[in-house]
Amino acid sequence: MVVERPIEALPPLSGITPYPRSVAEHDGRIFFYARADRTKLLGIVSPLSMAPAAGFSGESSEVGDSILWLGEPTPRNASALRQALPWLQPHPLGLSTSAGCGDRLGLATPGHVRAARAVPGIAMIFAQQSIREMSRTIRTPQQVMDDAAWGAFQEGWREPVGADADHLKTTGDIDQCAAAGYTFFTFDPGEHVDSAADGEGVAALQRKFAALPWDALETRPADLMQAYVGTTFQFETLSIAMDEIAVASAAVKYGRAVAHTVAMYRHLDRVMAGRPFEVEVSVDETETPTTHAQHFYIASELKRLGVEWVSLAPRYIGRFEKGVDYIPPPGDCGDLSGFRADFSGHAAIARALGPYKLSLHSGSDKFSIYPVAAEEAGGLVHLKTAGTSYLEALRATSGYDPNLFREILAFAITRYESDRASYHVSAELRNVPAPAGVADADLPGLLDQFDTRQVLHVTFGSVLNSEQGFKARLYEGLESHEEAHYRALESHFIRHLQPLAPDPVG
């Protein structure tokens, strides 16, 4: 059967309410997602003459001249749904301007979809989470993938989607995520970056240079010097000339990271066994900025060693702290001219040696620099967000359950000093208002206050795993007030996507 308005073809349903955008006709069946109290159900309507849909688990009944099948949103049914509805399967997104929406709770994708629908022209990644975040939220790569699929299905998203296995550090991380069906793999060799190289003395630099893993780099010190020294490399208006000290410094700082990335890439290529994938290389979580010469070294050596990548995240100048806007370096005049010059040089290298996209990690809430990045990169940008969705869940919570929000904030204050260790943040507890003294109407505004926002951002793992039962209470509230949650997310992510859109609006 071909149905122009599938929702009108649904049989009478008792006790469940379909999400209107989820209803889709495909290959003779009607698929839908529905809510029943606080639970959700996958529904399939098939003609009596049609064989049961393959791979699904649930219960069926005859309704008129159709079979109505209902099943829970289990991993098995998520897998079968992706097979049945090909638009839910993640694919590589190529060089399109793109954005990734991390979701620490597994409930945010409908809000992300609504924002993406409001700002067309950006390729979206709804399934995105790092192994570090998965461990703190006690989720698996498969759960992250499935939660995003259910959310996209609920909202009727049919545009291409990717799935980002974020900040992978080991081949074991790769194996887990490849098995779960991810198509975008972010390699994080940050632990192999020697940031001290930028201030190293000549003698120490020479010793470290000689000790690099030359076999893994598949070259010799003299050959590396010959490849770079004595030549001026031109990238549009950017000129790079490297002497022996500059080459040694770049190699000492990033050589082991290059070797690690090559090993990860070759392992991934074997594991994927012909399945399409794309790679991002991330060196953003390091102490010192990536200079243009160092970017040139990284990209040139990865190319020489056969790595193909779609985006790269250098460490830009200034501070990309969690949950807040871009913080310029000391002495910046405040007009973003320093960031523009830095980013422009990186963009010129990326166009010449790729092209590939420049990635903005810890990219959420960096509203001041999105227009600059979009302009200077000519759309070759990938925006990566994570904890900002969790913060918007807390904003929604503050509106309908102010006491729960106060409890969470009070607990987060006690955890901040220990939880901040693995993040680049500068919030000071003395600047965070005592939650008991804030009126209900003013609580949502705390999510816009620098210090409070960062304290809540980095303590998510402690909150979700606390003995106080915050996680269950958060989920119960968000599921009962899902429209308030989705509205908060939609509004917040429209602000992220609009400046990056091919035809910005608003």
Q: What is the chain's percent helix, strand, coil content, to nearest 5? A: 50, 15, 35
Catalytic residue among 166, 284, 376, 490: 166
Residue with tokens 């990169």: 377
Question: What single-letter amino acid sits at 418?
Answer: S
Structure tokens at 133: 């975040």
**Beta carbons of 33 and 18 less than 8 angstroms apart:** yes
Identify the bridge partners of residue 32 per DSSP, sorted by sequence position: 43
- Tokens 């461990």 sit on residue: 135
CA–CA separation, 205 vs 222, rounded Å? Answer: 15
Counting Cα atoms < 13 Å in the Cβ hemisphere of 377 gives 34
Rounded Cα distance between 145 and 88, Å, is 10
3 state SS of 234: strand
SS (H, E, C) 263-304: HHHHHHHHHHCCCCCEEEEECCCCCCCCCHHHHHHHHHHHHH
Joined together, the tokens standing for residue 309 give 């990548």
Opening angle at CA 289, ends 308 and 428, nearest 5: 125
Q: Does 280 qualify as catalytic in the annotation?
A: yes
Distance CA 350, CA 287 (A): 22
SS3 of 48-100: the string is CCCCCCCCCCCEEEEECCEEEEEECCCHHHHHHHHHHCHHHCCCCCCCCCEEE
Distance CA 382, CA 361 (A): 9
Catalytic option among 164, 188, 200, 280: 280
| Residue with token string 């499935």 | 146
CA 260/CA 194 separation, integer angstroms: 13
Q: Evaluate whether 453 touches 323 at the Cβ level (below 8 Å).
A: yes
Separation of alpha carbons 506 and 504, rounded Å: 7
Active site residues: 166, 280
